[in-house]
Structure 1
């Protein structure tokens, strides 16, 4: 029989109606002569009542059995306000067990106490939990909003290839051997970057795609080997056009998903200022805790750690709390991860000073510190000295740790900003050369056009990142459409003509036939979904993710393949 309603649908308007429900048994409770069953599906929970004369219907019935019932809707005597269906219950007249279930390896409740690998091994059970289903529902809603919004703006959804050519720059590719073309490989794309630029040359002036991308890189809470992007490109458009559309779209998503209003235009912060103030190019602005440089305060200091301050920076974060010994030790351990021996700290409470440096402070320095950090009654100052990039990174990490310690990361608050004016290049110690900070098709800023290839250290990119609550959720740029500038860029990253022709010749040929200027952006939909569902990891918003080692615990992928399969691909494995 076909169900007449879902388990989240019945209300007082359905009283006295005969209904058919199907779903999973969530809970069985006996109360006197009657038995109550919570029946669940992805829409909600409905309470079933088995009266004494029908008690034989539930012989041996257990949790997670899949059942079908028919019965009469009645008004509940005691309302359950936590359920949509909490004003009614269904008196069961007939019950059919569709399929039985073994005892599940963990309890399928929202607050499940089980390690993540077990959850991933039995992901199909994990996804029965309401919190996980809600995550997927919100994710689907975000995709729906995106498609509707962009379609209304004349964007065309176009699919691009998954089997592509391997090109240099960027993260490692996942390679796919070709059986028909011996000893040759496809690469799974890290993004549709080149294809979407070709679409601009093709005359598809407004393109978007919700697309899977692949990167063979070390994993974190906000990374997976395969991930989903909103990819977007616009012809006859500048960075400003892309940023404006992005702002309007994220505003719409936050309003419809979280009923949260953001004001446009968003704050813009240069990369330089982001590092200087927050020690990160993706700062979380839900809390202050700005980083301060204290060289002027300690320039004539006798404090030993500050004596050798030439070409070094004394940088600090201050919080209006008194840190415990345990909390300070946590920060010490964090400093070691950044190759610092420890942190220094100063505490002040009602003008009483303590801490590792307190006894060495002059009265003038104490007054300067109070003014610098606007200290009122109490505070702890965390500080250290080092090269600018290194000490800024450390203080940026400590800033985040302090926010977590004192619950400053306000839930259901969303702080967005643009980080702009990125370096065009970054120096690779491993390769001993400058490489493109984003990709070699990013346009230099107007002020860097004249000398970006000879003054790589100071060259700025016409690139922009969209940041929300400490996560980069989008990144884009104005593209190079001038062949002379593109050649200078290839030269700057030391790609010779032979390499350019071999890797990008197919792409560069298109520029001979008339290319519009264009700009674009890619959003990380996994990260956005993680933030909007208040999840701890992007794995909680992906139906079937890999674990932190890149392994699918459910299917045990990646796995060995047969010798026959390897022979067909002309591949031999090495022990």
Structure 2
């Protein structure tokens, strides 16, 4: 028999009754029922129940072993009585009567419970991540991630894409976030950058003639954490294709995402085909460029309704309305709660009216609206009796942010929200440029390597703020999975686009010399996209926080609490790298107060 096991813990069935077996795993749980010990033994494959009779060496040994210790047991498979069968376990028809026990790895007292989802804080869980990953939910999430990545590789290969690696040590890139820099030992005072994305390299692969590339690519960005963004590093399905237009990219990614979410979505419906929503339309109807289409409500711009109105609170402001049907039975508490929710999003209040059976309005602001205001408003929002209308008024961006959240919350509270579905969409026609609010200067609004719609003529004849780009995002259930674009592959267009954004020809050649040089030697039209693997798994696992789908994530402060990163470096190593440190000055505590985290002397 094998030194450690003849079977895994999830393998035994009724057909194995009377077989002598050897198992190894972690002591998951222990129950003492009248001197008879029942042990749950767990390994990667599952869980099996062990039995140790009173007075046996196995009973004595298993009574003394701490939970989460690793043990090897020998025993005989027996059938459970009909009343003791556990239908929720694949091994629930049998148990193993233990005859011999060997401790392979003893466990110290645990910092938190493994076999239940108790309320231990995240910092503690990350400090002992190797224990946290033993929990059933976390183990399931990590295995889901592994299966998703394997499926992505299979699906991309089947579609004719070739997996290729790109450099990790590279030059800085204008991806919009801070780079992680790596000092060079051989080139004093110079730095490599960890790639924010393989953007330039995958375009160079197209120029080199490889046609269809993909990679499960690690990306590094020095940015703050969010629920759907892990600081430091993340992984994406990086894709690039030659001789394609926007729709060609869409067809490939729609198939991959539809098949993937159908395969791993546990029966949840998947949108197909994905609707195409222009960026400006998305901002007006949904308040953002990553709409949650599970909410079956839309915002309406009603600013013009109140332009000549006597209602001063809305005069001269951007006004967005949200019509919520079937609210005739909603109590006043519902409206008050929606107002409180809007306040949590930063609103000073949430105006509302309700359309009665007689077509007249009731609500706090109804008395300020003229008959003409009412008629125009009801027409604009398509209001019917029983419809409530909520309003946001102010600057466009502020109103969009608040009302986008109000739209989803109102849908959830009134039955206009779909559960257990994946609602995908494409956001298209992004502006090529935007105006910096602080400086007033024109700058790129998205990926600077994108092809402008209309090409060189548009750059030379249109107002920069009216130029659209062949850029697109893929969104699912309000989560942006990826940005992509048809790339600019013509040097003359690149010079012109960067000039509009304030870059001289010399600066472009200095910053992007490699790309420009490649474009001048025959570049095919090409485009791509890079859906985030972490966010895909987060959606499939139905987890609200992306760190729950990553084996060893950094915490919200970009720290690895398990391995102790980031850490200080010895002076000798700094000298070798030609570096000296300039730390921020320490704040001296006020007189009579002790420094935080230090004992008073």
Question: 8 Å contact 1:335–1:343 — kept in the other structure?
Answer: no
Aligned to 1:484: 492
Q: Out of 5, 21, 30, which is 1:3 matched to?
A: 5
Q: Out of 277, 284, 292, which is 2:285 matched to?
A: 277
CA distance, structure 1, for counterparts of residue 443 and residue 304 of structure 2 = 35
Q: Out of 555, 561, 567, which is 1:559 matched to?
A: 567
Q: How do residues 428-507 of structure 1 correspond to structure 2 at under 5 angstroms?
A: 428-446=436-454, 449-451=457-459, 454-507=462-515
TM-score (norm 2): 0.89
**Which 10-residue stretch deviates more, 145-154 or 459-468?**
145-154
Q: Out of 338, 345, 349, which is 1:334 matched to?
A: 345
TM-score (norm 1): 0.93
CA distance, structure 1, for counterparts of residue 290 and residue 167 of structure 2 = 31
TM-aligned CA deviation for residue 384 of structure 1: 2.3
TM-aligned CA deviation for residue 511 of structure 1: 1.8
Quickly say closer, same or farther: Cα 1:145–1:347, change in 2 above 3 A.
same
CA distance, structure 1, for counterparts of residue 187 and residue 405 of structure 2 = 48
Matching of residue 243 in structure 1 with residue 250 in structure 2? yes
Question: 8 Å contact 1:108–1:125 — kept in the other structure?
Answer: yes
Aligned to 2:596: none
CA distance, structure 2, for counterparts of residue 529 and residue 231 of structure 1 = 16
CA distance, structure 1, for counterparts of residue 114 and residue 208 of structure 2 = 51
CA distance, structure 1, for counterparts of residue 80 and residue 154 of structure 2 = 41
TM-aligned CA deviation for residue 218 of structure 1: 2.2
CA distance, structure 2, for counterparts of residue 429 and residue 188 of structure 1 = 30
Matching of residue 344 in structure 1 with residue 356 in structure 2? no
CA distance, structure 2, for counterparts of residue 164 and residue 453 of structure 1 = 37
**Which 10-residue stretch deviates more, 237-246 or 554-563?**
554-563
Deviation digits for residues 430-453 of structure 1 (CA, Å, limit 9, x no counterpart): 454222222221001137843367
Aligned to 1:139: 145
Unmatched tracts of structure 2, length 5 or more: 584-601
CA distance, structure 1, for counterparts of residue 456 and residue 298 of structure 2 = 29
CA distance, structure 2, for counterparts of residue 440 and residue 370 of structure 1 = 43
**Other structure's SS at 1:133 match:** helix
CA distance, structure 2, for counterparts of residue 367 and residue 41 of structure 1 = 68
Q: How do residues 94-493 of structure 1 correspond to structure 2 at under 5 angstroms?
A: 94-109=100-115, 111-168=117-174, 170-224=176-230, 225-258=232-265, 259-260=267-268, 262=270, 264-306=272-314, 308-309=315-316, 312-319=317-324, 320=327, 321-322=330-331, 323=334, 325-336=336-347, 341-347=348-354, 355-362=363-370, 365=373, 373=381, 378=386, 380-403=388-411, 410-446=418-454, 449-451=457-459, 454-493=462-501
CA distance, structure 1, for counterparts of residue 460 and residue 418 of structure 2 = 41
Cα RMSD, aligned residues only: 2.3
Q: Out of 63, 67, 72, which is 2:71 matched to?
A: 67
Aligned to 1:15: 17
CA distance, structure 2, for counterparts of residue 245 and residue 279 of structure 1 = 28
CA distance, structure 1, for counterparts of residue 307 and residue 437 of structure 2 = 32
Unmatched tracts of structure 1, length 5 or more: none
Question: 8 Å contact 1:441–1:479 — kept in the other structure?
Answer: yes
Q: How many residue pairs align between the two structures?
A: 568
Quickly say closer, same or farther: Cα 1:71–1:150, change in 2 above 3 A.
same
Matching of residue 536 in structure 1 with residue 540 in structure 2? no
TM-aligned CA deviation for residue 139 of structure 1: 0.9
Question: 8 Å contact 1:476–1:521 — kept in the other structure?
Answer: yes
CA distance, structure 2, for counterparts of residue 53 and residue 115 of structure 1 = 41
Question: 8 Å contact 2:456–2:496 — kept in the other structure?
Answer: no
TM-aligned CA deviation for residue 527 of structure 1: 0.6
Question: 8 Å contact 1:46–1:85 — kept in the other structure?
Answer: yes
CA distance, structure 2, for counterparts of residue 106 and residue 212 of structure 1 = 32
CA distance, structure 1, for counterparts of residue 356 and residue 45 of structure 2 = 54
**Which 10-residue stretch deviates more, 159-168 or 396-405?**
396-405
CA distance, structure 2, for counterparts of residue 453 and residue 502 of structure 1 = 27
Aligned to 1:27: 29
Question: 8 Å contact 2:216–2:237 — kept in the other structure?
Answer: yes
Deviation digits for residues 471-516 of structure 1 (CA, Å, limit 9, x no counterpart): 1112211111112111111212221122222211122111222111
CA distance, structure 1, for counterparts of residue 166 and residue 277 of structure 2 = 33
CA distance, structure 1, for counterparts of residue 431 and residue 185 of structure 2 = 42
Deviation digits for residues 140-169 of structure 1 (CA, Å, limit 9, x no counterpart): 111111111111222111110111111345
TM-aligned CA deviation for residue 186 of structure 1: 0.6
Q: How do residues 23-62 of structure 1 correspond to structure 2 at under 5 angstroms?
A: 23-54=25-56, 55-62=59-66
TM-aligned CA deviation for residue 191 of structure 1: 0.6
Question: 8 Å contact 1:331–1:343 — kept in the other structure?
Answer: yes
TM-aligned CA deviation for residue 417 of structure 1: 0.9
TM-aligned CA deviation for residue 327 of structure 1: 4.4
Aligned to 1:526: 534
Question: 8 Å contact 1:136–1:543 — kept in the other structure?
Answer: yes
**Other structure's SS at 1:443 match:** coil
**Other structure's SS at 1:71 match:** strand
**Other structure's SS at 2:343 match:** helix
TM-aligned CA deviation for residue 521 of structure 1: 0.7
**Other structure's SS at 2:509 match:** helix
Question: 8 Å contact 1:411–1:534 — kept in the other structure?
Answer: no
CA distance, structure 1, for counterparts of residue 66 and residue 362 of structure 2 = 62
**Other structure's SS at 1:394 match:** helix
CA distance, structure 2, for counterparts of residue 442 and residue 367 of structure 1 = 45
**Other structure's SS at 2:536 match:** helix
TM-aligned CA deviation for residue 429 of structure 1: 2.8
**Other structure's SS at 1:457 match:** helix
